[in-house]
Chain A
């Protein structure tokens, strides 16, 4: 199991400039995978490259894998390995498995619990698979990671509640309106958060977009991006009754929308609900507008308050998520280790069967008068004897393997004179048992 390893950088330890330099465009991934395979002398590697992280997962032998991977990464980007060494983390064995489970579950993401990373990991894995760069070891690990990500989002609240102002705003819009396709969004001014909210609304399926700005050219420019209509600011009051969602983010020093204007608009709308989002500082919409029937007025503070609540809610789930990750990693490694004991069990059986066959032949040769039925009975007896004698041994090996006790397995193998399996067990030796080999990483960050 300790041949699973990962080397990478992420948003926690490397600034954007470094991450930008180390990022792999999709077209360069096949070449990079080949490079990693050559360096590590392995058939199994996956490269994950997103805006927040670059990670190389591999299944390979050798205690100098970290240095080899650093050298490969540095060579690919024309950087010094010594510089990258300070920024990269490296995990081996159980730590590497847990790291991937955490990444897929969004526990290692900038926005805790986000799900976008899962699709990015899936895409990277599929790309590696299409390049024949994955084998049964990484396949098993990645499939388990996808399963764990799903479990984390189903069994815990790690993905519950929106954690950005724009997404929270859209969430509230969806609480009011059921059919966004028939609704109109009115954007007044053109701030960054306002446009982002409009982007989310477009993704949610808002029907029509109207952009109002003091500069008609600027309004046209923004409207074009969102396939909407541009309107000069003097027509704002005419368009207000048509708007179901009003987003305002101007640099005006005074209120640009008053309660009286909204009251007139609401009368025309027969008090149909309207979501008004005031993102401006100082505010654009008169506070008392919120008193009107059907008007839901939100400002930046209101949304930030909800964002903070949701973030706290997600953080409270971290402990539960960590426990699930540990439990899943245990299960995965137990099944993996049982699988790793396969060669020993096979060799043990082969050896026992060879002894049985030799002894059976010797006995049968001493009694040439045995009938065919007697021979068959003797053969069946010897097979039953071998099976019954081996059963507790095999169960014991499986249990030791599931516990990860490689010393015991090696002792069993040596006692039985099974040299090949003994070597296999030695390769699987726990780095935890040898502190010098423990996973290395910059500083004392990830666990």
Chain B
């Protein structure tokens, strides 16, 4: 798959700087994932800070890759699904760094880096890296950025929700396994989930609205045919329900967190499905997906 990606990019004249930084970033995220999991299981031998530094180096490489691509091809990283998912990955990592700098959240990295590494591996395996030549507009750029940032926030909410459910289960069962000893307290995780939803929901709302406006110029028919619209709208409702449920008190505790997990699973499934679809369908259909890829929010 890696060779295929190389091949595909080489066809589109990717320079050596972009190639090196792209693959260095993926490698660094994989290393960060291994370090972070080891730090969770063996905290006396390995420090989570090492994973953070490695992840930061990976993010730096990925950022450099986007700059190199822009310098050589003159396009933002929205021209193919592969780069869009890479950009989403960068947003997830940035969201992790923002969250961990604002609050002490030990062990979160052991979930964030492996998740990012998995996203990148799946991306390498499935996403189409061939550029599709749709011209970006400022509206489209803002739409994509807002949507990806909201995904970053939901990604953090999902990680915190997973940790909350693991910790809550252990506490309910009166267990004290080594795995959860470095987890942040339940209250911190709950607060992180709620904050991420409150930050992510307006971003997603604005991103979706701008996406509708951007697509409306191509006619309502293209909106109706877009395969990402139904899951995106469902996601928006799920997150709205989670936020309102918590606020109004009709959806508390575990159920609220299950909603968040379901919402993020929907996002992942949409992307993975789209990636597989774009790989397995004909050129004509791929061209259609590319238009979708450039409007990932809807």
Contacts and interface: CB of A to CB of B under 8 A. Distances in A.
A375 B148 CA distance: 85
A293 B253 contact: yes
A312 interface: no
B187 A177 contact: yes
Contact of A178 (B172, B185, B254): B185
Contacts of B186: 175-177, 273
Contacts of A177: 185-187
Given A154-B44, A270-B249, A296-B171, A176 B176 contact: no
Contact of A271 (B176, B187, B253): B253
A306 B180 CA distance: 14
B44 A302 contact: no
Contacts of A310: 176
Interface string B90-128: 000000000000000000000000000000000000000
Contacts of B44: 154-157
B184 A178 contact: yes
A305 interface: yes
A175 B171 contact: yes
Contacts of B171: 172, 175-176, 296
Contacts of B175: 306
Q: Contact residue range for chain B?
A: 10 to 19
A353 interface: no
A306 B175 CA distance: 7
Contacts of A156: 44
A161 interface: yes
A290 B174 CA distance: 11
A92 B176 CA distance: 42
A270 B251 CA distance: 10
Given A176-B186, A302-B174, A271 B252 contact: yes
Contact of B183 (A175, A271, A303): A175
B188 interface: yes
A429 to B, nearest CB: 41
A298 B176 contact: no
A296 B187 contact: no
A179 interface: yes
B194 to A, nearest CB: 13
Nearest to A302: B174
Contacts of B185: 174-178
A296 B172 contact: yes
A343 interface: no
B188 A293 contact: no
B167 interface: yes
A71 B220 CA distance: 102
A191 interface: no
B249 A161 contact: no
A358 B289 CA distance: 99
B188 A178 contact: yes
A206 to B, nearest CB: 14
A174 B183 CA distance: 11
B100 to A, nearest CB: 15
A294 interface: yes
Interface string A131-162: 00000000000000000000000111100010
A179 B174 contact: no
A306 B176 contact: yes
A229 B188 CA distance: 28
A254 interface: no
A309 interface: yes
A179 B184 CA distance: 12
The 8 closest A-B pairs by CB, nearest first: A302-B174, A178-B185, A271-B252, A293-B253, A178-B188, A178-B187, A176-B186, A306-B176
7 contacts: A154-B44, A175-B185, A178-B188, A271-B252, A296-B172, A303-B174, A306-B175
Given A172-B171, A177-B186, A179-B187, 17 more contacts: A155-B44, A157-B44, A174-B185, A175-B185, A178-B187, A178-B188, A178-B191, A270-B252, A271-B252, A273-B187, A294-B252, A294-B253, A296-B172, A298-B174, A302-B174, A309-B176, A310-B176
Interface of A: 154-157, 161, 168, 171-172, 174-179, 270-271, 273, 290, 293-294, 296, 298, 302-303, 305-306, 309-310
